[in-house]
A and B are shown apart, each in its own frame.
Chain A
């Protein structure tokens, strides 16, 4: 039925990407050891990257692997190893602070997800205007994807791009201030 309507390679890629994403996500929230959760997170990010390639976002697929699966997960692993908090099963050993916390959380999440999917099923959800109608920049696949995304970021979204530069500087300074030992603060105060 499905194979008759859609191209089989597309369906296979979609199923593999979806399985990687959802299985990885379930492992992230079920694993006792935070290291295993971080490694499952890589699996999810690879699934998202495959979906990005299938959706003609080739540059973002590369960035997804480099920044998320590379930098952010390594940062997580570094902090886990640095703090030595692997294998603390605090979730299993301590009582829940709220009564029936988990069933309530599951109920809220199920209501949200079923609501979103019901909205998708009962409405025509792509109601926005296409790029051709709004004089926006159209998407491009392949090598032109970087050209199209680059010209959009450096023309239409230039101010947002400049603000991200300021945001990154603030984040770096904030991380340095947080990581500094308090003794260093006292020394600065004595010098002043």
Chain B
């Protein structure tokens, strides 16, 4: 008998939780981007698990599109980090408080 889908779903939930905790606590913008990637991968794992258990390729197609969006997001996000670093010489998100109300 193969591994039940719930095992993979629990691992994906834990992976998402670790990524969310890192995003909430770390203040280096680069580490925060890595935590976003962790959360995206947890969702990818959930999609593929459901594609496997429901025998529908739609889940894998969704992961394909998430990959493209993640690549675009990282490109623009790191571009913003580099642009901010040129002015601030720092990647700490706490120092970016000009828009604070």
Contacts and interface: CB of A to CB of B under 8 A. Distances in A.
Given A68-B67, A79-B78, 10 more contacts: A10-B2, A22-B15, A57-B48, A71-B71, A83-B85, A128-B56, A130-B54, A134-B56, A153-B61, A171-B75
A63 B61 contact: no
A28 B27 contact: no
A178 B2 contact: no
A128 B61 CA distance: 17
A55 B49 contact: yes
Given A10-B3, A22-B14, A120-B9, A131 B24 contact: no
| B: interface residue count bin | 35 or more
Is the interface on chain A under 10, 10 to 19, 20 to 34, or 35 or more residues? 35 or more
B96 to A, nearest CB: 12
Q: Which of B18, B37, B63 has the most CB of A within 10 A?
A: B18
A152 B38 contact: no
10 contacts: A6-B3, A22-B14, A25-B15, A55-B51, A57-B60, A68-B70, A109-B17, A112-B17, A139-B57, A140-B57
Nearest to B21: A109
A21 B44 CA distance: 13
B15 A21 contact: yes
A145 B83 CA distance: 41
B76 to A, nearest CB: 5
Contact of A76 (B33, B61, B68): B33
A184 interface: no
B60 A149 contact: yes
Given A164-B65, A178-B76, A56 B50 contact: no
Contacts of B83: 178-179
B69 A164 contact: yes
Contact of B50 (A75, A126, A174): A126
A134 B38 CA distance: 32
Contacts of B14: 22, 113
B1 interface: yes
Nearest to A179: B79
Interface in B40-93: 41, 44-45, 48-58, 60-61, 63-65, 67-76, 78-83, 85, 90-92
A14 to B, nearest CB: 5
Nearest to B7: A14
A5 interface: yes
A129 B54 CA distance: 7
A23 to B, nearest CB: 10
